[in-house]
Structure 1
Amino acid sequence: MQSLVTIEHVRQFTEDGFFLLRDVVPPNDLVLLREECDRFVAEREQEMDRLGVDNIDLDHRGRRYFVHAYDRSAVVRRFLLSGLMRDIAQTVLGDTVYLFNEQYVVKAAEQGMSLSWHQDSGYLESDHRPYLTCWITLDDVTEQNGTVYLLPYSRAGTREAVPHVRDEQSRDMVGYSGDDPGDPVIAPAGSIACFASTVLHRSGANTTDRFRRVYLAQYSAEPILNADRSPKHLAEPLTTR
């Protein structure tokens, strides 16, 4: 079967650090991922109720949510290890690929928070090879509902991991304070923005009257480990093509 990732996509990934696959998630998978997202957000809010708080870690009630699902959803696990995701990850990273991390990222209607400029590598303290983030749109994404903005390597001035500082109010890690707005991802539901963990990116607030739901799947060419050699998150090998 021919790969969805073309030579042009690989060239753009090498030069800019990212590329976009439009409308590639099978419709049935899209429905199931949305249903699981809604279930996990409801559970997160119930946990806030139980604790009597309005935020847990990076989650803020009624504003934004970051929810892991791999250990709690057979639907999610199947998708993460599917032929579609294996094809993308292996074409970019090589035949040896591991599932590293995953999470839903949800911006609530009319008040979803923005997310500061950062590299995904900026959230890791240990040394590691850059990995691949697949930013999967569960809804149509626009500048109005808080899409992601990507900063090409050439305009960022680096393709390496840079120091980050934590914003004490939002708890975000921040790795860039320049004036470049980045390139917005404008795409229909079921699209996948693929970018390296050293690509600076941000997202705006959701100013629409509907949730903006995204699912992140991250893959690495080798297990990413803590200082004690234990896996940082996941180290699930994907089978060969």
Structure 2
Amino acid sequence: MPNSPVRLLIHGASGRMGRALLRLAAEHGDLRVVAGISRSGRTPPELSGLPMLPAAHMGEAPAFDLMLDFSLAEAFDSAVALCRSRSAGLVSGTTGLSATQKQALDTLAQQVPVLWSANFSAGVAVLSELVRQAAAALPEWDVDIVESHHVHKKDAPSGTALALGAAVERGGGRPPAYSSLRAGDIVGEHLVQFTGPGERLELTHRAGSRDIFARGALEAARRLAGRPPGSYRFAELLLGLAR
């Protein structure tokens, strides 16, 4: 990672994750937020004293090394375009992306380092590996994935649930069935259930605070900075497996 602080641009700065990123970035002396971008352009308290740009003027953002993108799928194309034009890396947790948008990520990764993850929790990264191992050991068992989130979350199943389903399939398990619950202010809960004759295995992760995701994304930014172009996985960076 570079010796000078990594310059971060926060896309989706006025959202829940954006605010947490702005607040927690100050804990890292090797990270420096240079500006924020939001749909409205309004400045949250966490960004006091720093430039806040409306999405329509994001091209006017100051120089940055990495964009942290936690926005909406409809704003994602502009974020990718800005990173491409600035040759800046991208760490994104925006879910609900189309196949075309996912392809755009692969194309961007040919030019800059890119990390997309549905979940930046260290616990979920480990859960994904456990799920893969369980699927490999129990390939004939039925698999159900149940996810619960707050009432404002739009996509269902959640991106994390789909990523866990991909882990099941990587392990050779049966394609999972998904169930989604939207209630109250639940930060995020995921249950992966394997059911066989006369027994059941449950693997669960519960997030008690959105800060765990923000801290994970900031750690991802620290580890991604200075790497060559390519598509990286959060678990690989976290566990030191990325080349």
Report the TM-score, using the length of structure 2 for normalisation: 0.27
With CA pairs under 8 Å and 6+ residues apart, which has the higher RCO, 1 or 2? 1
TM-score with structure 1 length normalisation? 0.27
Which protein shows a greater Rg? 2
